[in-house]
Amino acid sequence: MIGEDVSERLEVIPAQLRVIVTRRPEYACRACGEGVKQAPAPDHIIEAGLPAETTLAHVITSKYADHCPLYRQAQIYARQGIDLDRSTLAG
């Protein structure tokens, strides 16, 4: 080998927003007679709330570390097809 040319490029991969679905089936045991059993639900950082921990971390980091106001964050989410009000982000 005589040599090689190496070039580097910086590529942006936008954030991915996903809905995580948790299914908890219910089972009944005829033999034991204890009725219906179901696994406990996973803990949520906001009780019965939609955002995951990573979503909250992103909103807080964008607001306080990157100085991106909530109305701009709402616009960014809207461009990605996610409808979030500023009041929802603030809550």
Condensed to tens digits (0 to 9), the pLDDT of residues 33-78 reads 778 888 888 888 888 788 889 889 999 999 999 999 999 999 998 9
Whole-number pLDDT of residue 68: 94
Per-residue burial over 18-52, b = 16 or more CB atoms within 10 Å of its CB, e = otherwise: eeeeeeeeeeeeeeeeeeeeeeeeeeeeeeeeebe
pTM: 0.69
Residue 14 or residue 64, greater confidence: 64
